[in-house]
Amino acid sequence: MPTKAEVVEAGVTLDATYMGRVYSELNDLPDPGIMNIGSLCVAPFMSLVIYEAMRKSSFLSSSMEIILSDDANDVCGRARHSLKLFTDTNGGIDRQLTHFEQDIMREHSKYFLGNTWLPLARFLETDLGVFTYEGQIVTTTHSATFHLGIPSRRLLREGIAPVMQSILHQMGRCLVALGAVGHTGEPRTFASYASGSSLRNRDVRAAKHYGRSFNGPETPYINGTLTDFQAITNFIASLLIAGADPLSLEYSVFKIRYIALFHVLASLRVLQGRSDMGLSRRSSEAIVRILETSEARVVTHPSTRGFRNTLMHYGPTNSMLGDLDLSAPLFGLVPVFFPEHDFRSLSALVDRCIRDTARELNAWAKTT
């Protein structure tokens, strides 16, 4: 039977090693598109690893080497919490919608619009970058800002490169302390298999883009956050698993997919439960289609919440330890929470749920 410290250290090491491989492979790519978009998509998950490892530092042999400046620690914490979407207990849906509307959408519009010297040409100005992989949105400039954890005013004023340089350097040192070693041979990550020809980007006017999507023109701030849900779901459905077998994923890739899926589904349930949000009938029906599949009910069932908690926070309860095996997929967590499944069958269920959710979100996002 492993000790709690052994389980924590094993999970942290696997995640840190994976992140190190991802960024090593991205940095070696000749295609700056995959490098930039891949980095933005993975960034909040890197923050999750470091943030949670720091909180479990008493269980780690490298605890004295996991150090961030106050600035980097704040950014890391905000990026990690962004993954909770509407389920963040620090303000929940109201705080997130306000943040997306005022601190991201409004700040980007103020910065990028109204600058053309010829007023008649200002209708050509854009304030939202949309990035797609295999025809589906995987991130936007609004979504990237949200998940980087850096206030828009600072990011727009100073630029992403200068702001991120010191922070990423510190995070890189933390990953190395936690076990990251860069290239380790096979298995390679999505960065080595992603197709640059499948990546596209276009600049649009945010008001027009959001006004034509999801819940319609009356709720652009809701549509903006739903676009983020759409992007992160498409990322875990396609780009993240490029070159991999979705039914036999390594620990960290399965973890990223499960945590992202769980919070998208849970956040849609939060939105569905708020009668004051002005959801259209079409929107309500789309949410029902997503949440009421048998797979979505399994993923979000209260009895399995400990599975998500253990993956996210690394710390199993003492009562679990007797059932765990560090040599088993996910350390043997699957039969503890999903007695009807083994790792492969749960992976198949999660994969179906991700693809169904992505398909419904992409359809819902189209003209209302």
Query: Which amino acid, residue 89?
Result: T
Q: Report yes or no: 101 and 221 within 8 Å, Cβ to Cβ.
A: yes
Mean pLDDT, rounded, for 117-140: 80
pLDDT tier at 186, thresholds 50, 70, 90: low
Percent of the chain at pLDDT > 70 equals: 94
Mean pLDDT, rounded, for 219-233: 97
How many Cα atoms sit within 13 Å of 17 on the Cβ side? 15
pTM for the full model?
Answer: 0.94
Instruction: Inform me whether the pLDDT recorded for 121 exceeds 50.
Output: no
- Give me 38's structure tokens: 């891949």
Tell me which of 81 and 28 has the higher pLDDT.
81
Which tens digits make up the pLDDT trace of 39-94?
Answer: 999 999 999 999 999 999 989 887 667 889 999 999 999 999 999 999 987 778 99
Phi, then psi, of 84 in degrees rounded to 5: -80, -15
Range with lowest mean pLDDT among 10-19, 59-68, 115-124 = 115-124
Which pLDDT does position 67 carry in this prediction? 86
Q: How far apart are CA 238 and CA 202, in angstroms?
A: 19
- Give me 131's structure tokens: 């990035």
Which pLDDT does position 163 carry in this prediction? 76
How many Cα atoms sit within 13 Å of 39 on the Cβ side? 18
Which tens digits make up the pLDDT trace of 197-212?
Answer: 899 999 999 999 999 9
Which tens digits make up the pLDDT trace of 295-310?
Answer: 999 999 999 999 999 9
| Furthest CA-CA distance within the chain | 72
What are the Cα distances from residue 104, in Å, to 97, 287, 295? 10, 25, 33
- Range 180-199 burial, b when 16+ CB lie within 10 A, else e: beeeeeeebbbbbebeeebb
140 in helix, strand or coil? Answer: strand
pLDDT tier at 120, thresholds 50, 70, 90: very low
Q: How far apart are CA 8 and CA 179, in angstroms?
A: 13
Strand ranges across the sheet with 136-140:
136-140, 128-133, 199-204
Instruction: Inform me whether the pLDDT recorded for 119 exceeds 60.
Output: no
